[in-house]
Chain A
Amino acid sequence: MRQIFLIKERCLPGCDSCMRACLGEHLGHQQDYASIQQLPLAKKAADNTYSFDLLDPVPFALRCQHCPDAPCVASCISGSMQQSEENGRVFNDLEQCVGCWMCVMACPYCALIPLVEERKVLKCDQCLLAQDPACVRACPTKALVFYSSEEYEALRRKAARWNEEGKRPAKGLFE
């Protein structure tokens, strides 16, 4: 299961290409772009899981972890919240969603955005059918990358080691 990661040092504040790409991808549900906004809410624990802390938020690109066995899917009363069997991406079918807010309570990352007036829940769907999400494709500095957490950690460690040894990280290490 691949996830979107943010390499903070590479991010150009105010660039917002990711948000515009997200908006473009989800035209029709314009509020969807909100899901890319950098709400830094999850942190990685030693056991390779991400945990959320209300008090000590840690920068993170996207809130939805597309958890295996996602609690939002398990708590959905309408069958709208689903997990793709093909690629594990969790998405919400807005046609079916009734805005009961059960998933909002279930998600420890607070990754679900309640649209109160519309009574629907929005979330990142990793651009369900695309190979790479639009935000990752659009990022001009490759600050957003799309890897499985194991791959990402390995690459990060490698980059850090090279940095220590004074080597310049190979171009495109994260590409």
Chain B
Amino acid sequence: MKVLIIGSGVAGTACAQAMRRLDSHASITILSEEPHLFYSKSLLAHCFSHSWGIARLALCGPDSYQRLKLKALTSVRAEEIDTDKKIVRAGDGQIYPYDRLLISTGASPNFPSNDIKGLDKKRVFGLRNFADVVGIRACLDKLRAKKTDVRAVVIGGGLLGLETAYHLNQAGLNISLVESQSRLLPTVISEDLSRWLGLEERFARHGYELKLASQPVEILGKEGVEAVSIAEGTKVTQLPADIVLVATGVVPKVGLAQDCGIEVDHGIITDERQQTSAPDILAAGDVAQTKDLLTGDSSVFPIWPAAVEQGRVAASNILGQDVQYKGGVNLNSFQFFDLPVCCLGLVELGNGAGREELVYQSQSPRVYQRILIEDGYIVGASLAGDISKAGAIYAWIREKRPVADKKEKLLEAISCSSWR
């Protein structure tokens, strides 16, 4: 059987590895439009504070592909899928036939060019692959040759925005951060945790200039960036900028699937077996839209463990086993400055959703633990300071263990700082 995988990211690689474990004979080909084999995109921002090269991010050496007998082609962009003839036409002029096809093209940075003018100017970057790191580094080197005080404006106060800002700051840049909502990480942490953490104040204390509840309007400058104009309500101000990082989320790369008539919503729509609407074509990872374990809706889970799991589910189904994806649960973790934070599943109480919360807070040591319960099951948790119970709670969420009359005991469990 010929299996073709488009995209050498987390899902694609997990699928290939799992497939090889299950079947030693299938011919597996991976097409990657990037010049590098599988590497960690989650660590891209770290490259600025550590001066890491691609070798530090690489997760699979060429020898491991050889050992698994995987044919991996780099710098080959899949241009078109012909679902009738079961072939993929690629940018290198070749035609790749398949019996089963996995689309794991991932996502690309969202450039909101409708809302912000001038995003095509020089020194405006997104951060999604290693080429971006190389570009940003080259740009920083040029800027540093001219002046000592380099200013970066980061647009977007989500996880990617904060992480990029954090590591650029470590690299010695002055940072201004623009977020349209009135707090940082609006989609990641609950309002309650946000107040308790006081991230805004912490970032400000470390010298970051935060512009909250501000809408970036235009990137100003002749050729390259000189400033960013932002609107705070009706007041329009300008932030001086030498370089701009756009971190306003990512969009699944659905173009390839859309063009050949596969059903697409936000991502490529897949069922529990990662099967798309086209026969013998599956999708997994950041590009796939799949079942949400907690709400039952269909959504995209752009997180590492979900990509691995979906890739493995796809692998089993490609080889004819009937394996279903349990459904995705959002997992986010971060640590800026001293406090580690983990957020699992749903984070907000929600109006009228009938959710209950169990909360434990302490100031010394600084610990925040909050579990959300809906219809007798744990549906979410936010943990800060002490994250040691995160794994146990995630098991409760995933396996849908009934809480029943154990609420008090649960509260007791999250209230003790250590389990000894």
Interface residues of A (CB under 8 A from B): 37, 39, 41, 51-55, 57, 71, 74-79, 98-102, 104-114, 116-117, 119
Contact = CB atoms under 8 A, between A and B. Distances in A.
A104 B390 contact: yes
B51 to A, nearest CB: 15
A interface secondary structure, majority: loop
Contact of A98 (B46, B305, B309): B46
Interface in B367-412: 387-396, 406, 409-410
Given A54-B389, A114-B388, 20 more contacts: A37-B420, A39-B420, A51-B395, A52-B391, A52-B395, A55-B413, A74-B14, A74-B309, A75-B304, A75-B308, A98-B43, A101-B340, A101-B390, A104-B387, A105-B333, A110-B390, A110-B419, A113-B388, A114-B340, A116-B338
Contact of B335 (A41, A78, A101, A107): A101
B260 interface: no
Interface in B321-374: 331, 333-335, 338-340, 342, 344
B134 interface: no
B43 A108 contact: no
Count chain A CB atoms within 10 A of each CB in B309, B331, B390, B393 and give the residue with the most. B390
B129 interface: no
A69 B46 CA distance: 27
B278 to A, nearest CB: 28
B49 to A, nearest CB: 11
Contacts of B338: 116-117
B42 interface: yes
A55 B416 CA distance: 12
B59 A79 contact: yes
Contact of A104 (B333, B406, B410, B419): B333
Contacts of A77: 40, 42-43, 304
Contacts of A101: 333-335, 340, 342, 387, 390
A46 to B, nearest CB: 16
Given A55-B410, A98-B46, A99-B335, A78 B40 contact: yes
Contacts of A110: 388-392, 419
A79 B333 contact: no
A104 B334 CA distance: 12
Contacts of A119: 335
Contacts, number: 100
A71 B387 contact: no
A71 B305 contact: yes
A134 B31 CA distance: 46
A148 B342 CA distance: 33
Contacts of A41: 392, 419
B391 A108 contact: yes
B420 A108 contact: no
Nearest to A96: B56
A105 B340 contact: no
Contacts of B394: 105-106, 108
A105 B391 CA distance: 4
A112 B392 CA distance: 11
A105 B420 CA distance: 20
Nearest first, the 7 A-B pairs at minimum CB distance are A108-B395, A101-B333, A77-B42, A107-B391, A75-B305, A105-B390, A79-B59
A116 B388 CA distance: 11
A142 B335 CA distance: 41
Contacts of A79: 40, 59
Contacts of A75: 304-305, 308
A79 to B, nearest CB: 4
17 contacts: A51-B395, A52-B392, A53-B392, A55-B406, A74-B305, A78-B42, A99-B335, A101-B340, A102-B304, A102-B333, A104-B387, A105-B331, A106-B331, A106-B394, A107-B391, A110-B389, A112-B391
B391 A109 contact: yes
Contact of A54 (B304, B334, B335, B396): B396
A60 to B, nearest CB: 12
B249 to A, nearest CB: 19
A78 B88 CA distance: 32
Contact of B387 (A37, A98, A114): A114
A74 B393 contact: no
Nearest to B413: A54
Contacts of B419: 39, 41, 57, 110
A76 B42 CA distance: 10
A79 B55 CA distance: 12
Nearest to B41: A77
B344 to A, nearest CB: 6
A108 B390 CA distance: 8
A111 B413 CA distance: 16
Nearest to B394: A105
A108 B395 CA distance: 5
B315 to A, nearest CB: 12
Contacts of A105: 331, 333, 342, 344, 387, 390-391, 394
Nearest to B403: A55
